[in-house]
């Protein structure tokens, strides 16, 4: 891998400085808690929509979707297909609900419904989810930049992490949203540029891409059989619906944006703008992966350096060239899928354009991480620090807490990214972690919103049952072969589906059972 030319480095540096400058610009207005968390409720709906879109379009999508399509097929796109239904539920029920409560935290209502334990449980689940998400995004960003610059993944994460922390702490939610508007545009243009550069270098163009993809069954959305032990069409669709329902209905990153809009109508429009932009753009990234597959199928020798480097890393320093060559020859596309896009960029993208694409990858990471940091700090300050440690906190102290918490959670996310170095698949890691943490939170929220008759005892019992089911589904693979019959046979993407439904349905049944027992006997 070659180091970046000076012009590309200059483009990246200018981009980073511009993001930090936006933070400094909004720091002049960022003088109170409402400005830091809500941007004073004066952000136009289109900007909020672009902001939500940019948060969705993280480096997990930028690198993960092409990698999945390269190594497998279009099964990953099924996740996006589920978004419109989740958005419909969100705009019909969730947006009006949060706008009416007026609470900046998404979890205050859980305490009103079921008590302090419910709010605390949801906050813990949310924070764990954010740590996992920030970690995988830091990791994805460093993975691509390491191939392009030659710097270590650790140093890349640290430098980028500090830049993100600076502009997020200085500018608050206003800086987060307006930088995400810019970043959303940059990463979309970056994706279009990558696709153009790939197709341009394929003899026969897009027609040849489709021909090879059809021959190798790369356009499939996955098996339509009702098999929930594999990532079939139905498994990814269910997973996508529940994750997106959690995003739009329980994730502080999005709930907080509903409050930055001037009206409920503007907030609802922002959700739909996000969906109508993300779905086709996520398809664009899948097409990029398929196009890269076709490109390297036509010229297989070009990808050999990636396979040899991977084989050398697996075998260690004592391996002979013959051993490395033999192992490299056994690799399938899925084994090196995450490395293909960065490799294409460093070897086939012209100087100048490469810097723009790297800026797009950086923007994909920075927009999501900054949003996660701001939301995590808001939740910690409102739901933990203010609720349990300093109820009488004034606005100045509250703003100070938000600043400190933003820094701390940024450093935690950075640490999670450093810990993920060596993960086999970027997207698989994120999906598994998010499914584990999100399942119980969404089930409890739906129980409180839909079943108005469910009381505290039924809710806490249902949550305990659901958490036990989630823990079993997640860790039963470690059970010895002697007791293999009690292992979870479902795919890991089903954890959030089963966990959510377990809590919700258990709460409903316990409520009905309680009402039946309390009914006066005739």
Residue 437's pLDDT is 65
Tell me how far the alpha carbon of residue 56 is from its chain's centroid.
6
Burial (CB count within 10 angstroms: exposed 0-12, middle 13-18, buried 19+), residue 40: middle
pLDDT in tens, 466-477: 888 888 888 777
- Choose among 93, 123, 96: nearest CA to 108: 123
**Averaged over 161-168, what is the pLDDT?**
85
pLDDT in tens, 259-279: 888 888 888 998 999 899 999
Q: Which domain holds residue 120?
A: 6-424
Q: For residue 496, how many C-alpha atoms fall within 13 Å in the half-sphere facing its CB?
A: 28
Residue 75 belongs to some domain of the structure = yes
Residue 338 belongs to some domain of the structure = yes
pLDDT above 80: residue 326: yes
Average pLDDT, the chain: 83
| Total of domains in the chain | 1
Residue 422's pLDDT is 63
Residue 476 belongs to some domain of the structure = no
- Token pair of 315 as six digits: 């075998």
Residue 39's pLDDT is 65
Residue 375 belongs to some domain of the structure = yes
Instruction: Give the relative orientation of helices 495-518 and 456-475 as an angle to the nearest 10 degrees.
Output: 150
Residue 58's pLDDT is 74
DSSP state of 388: I
What's 259's domain CATH number? 1.20.1730.10
Residue 118 belongs to some domain of the structure = yes
Model confidence at 1, pLDDT cuts 50, 70, 90, reads: very low
CA separation for the pair 403, 397 (Å, rounded):
10
CA separation for the pair 462, 135 (Å, rounded):
30
Indicate yes or no: pTM above 0.85. no
pLDDT in tens, 31-67: 767 777 766 667 888 888 888 888 788 767 777 889 8
**Averaged over 471-489, what is the pLDDT?**
79
Residue 438 belongs to some domain of the structure = no
Angle, vertex CA 221, rays to CA 217 and CA 225, nearest 5: 100
């Amino acid at each position: 891998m070659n180091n970046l030319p000076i012009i590309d480095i200059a483009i990246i540096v200018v981009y980073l400085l511009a993001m930090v400058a936006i933070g400094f610009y909004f720091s002049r207005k960022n003088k109170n808690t409402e400005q830091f968390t809500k941007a004073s409720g004066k952000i136009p709906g289109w900007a909020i929509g672009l902001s939500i879109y940019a948060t969705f379009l993280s480096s997990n999508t930028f690198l993960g979707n092409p990698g999945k399509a390269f190594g497998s097929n279009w099964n990953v796109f099924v996740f996006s297909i589920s978004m419109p239904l989740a958005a419909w539920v969100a705009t019909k029920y969730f947006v009006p609900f949060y706008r009416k409560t007026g609470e900046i935290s998404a979890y205050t209502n859980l305490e009103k419904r079921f008590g302090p334990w419910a709010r605390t449980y949801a906050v813990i689940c949310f924070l764990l989810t954010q740590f996992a998400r920030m970690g995988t995004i830091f990791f994805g960003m460093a993975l691509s930049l390491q191939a392009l610059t030659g710097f270590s993944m650790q140093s890349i994460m640290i430098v980028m992490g500090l830049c993100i922390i600076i502009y997020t702490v200085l500018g608050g939610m206003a800086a987060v949203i307006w930088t995400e508007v810019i970043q959303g545009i940059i990463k979309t243009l970056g994706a279009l540029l990558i696709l153009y550069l790939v197709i341009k270098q394929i003899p026969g163009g897009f027609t040849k891409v489709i021909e090879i993809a059809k021959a190798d069954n790369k356009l499939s959305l996955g098996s339509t059989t009702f098999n929930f032990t594999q990532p079939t069409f139905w498994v990814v669709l269910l997973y996508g619906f529940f994750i997106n329902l959690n995003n739009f209905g329980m994730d502080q990153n999005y709930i907080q944006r509903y409050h930055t809009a001037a009206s409920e109508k503007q907030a609802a429009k922002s959700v739909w703008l996000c969906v109508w932009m993300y779905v086709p753009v996520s398809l664009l990234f899948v097409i990029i992966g398929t196009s890269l597959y076709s490109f390297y199928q036509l010229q297989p020798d070009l990808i050999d350096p990636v396979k040899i480097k991977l084989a050398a890393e697996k075998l260690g320093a004592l391996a002979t060239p013959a051993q490395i060559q033999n192992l490299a020859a056994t690799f399938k596309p899925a084994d090196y899928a995450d490395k293909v896009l960065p490799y294409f960029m460093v070897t086939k993208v012209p100087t100048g354009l490469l810097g723009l694409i790297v800026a797009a990858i950086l923007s994909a990471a920075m927009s999501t991480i900054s949003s996660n940091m701001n939301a995590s700090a808001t939740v910690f300050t409102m739901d933990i620090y203010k609720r349990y440690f300093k109820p009488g906190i004034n606005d100045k102290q509250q703003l100070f807490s938000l600043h400190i918490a933003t820094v701390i959670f940024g450093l935690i996310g950075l640490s999670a990214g450093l810990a993920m170095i060596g993960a086999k698949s970027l997207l698989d890691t994120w999906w598994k972690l998010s499914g584990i943490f999100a399942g119980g939170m969404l089930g409890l929220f739906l129980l409180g919103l839909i079943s108005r008759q469910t009381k505290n005892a039924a809710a806490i019992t249902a949550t305990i049952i659901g958490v036990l089911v989630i823990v079993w589904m997640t860790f039963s693979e470690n059970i010895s072969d002697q007791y293999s019959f009690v292992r979870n046979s479902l795919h890991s993407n089903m954890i959030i589906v089963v966990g959510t439904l377990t809590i919700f349905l258990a709460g409903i049944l316990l409520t009905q059972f309680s009402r039946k027992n309390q009914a006066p006997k005739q």
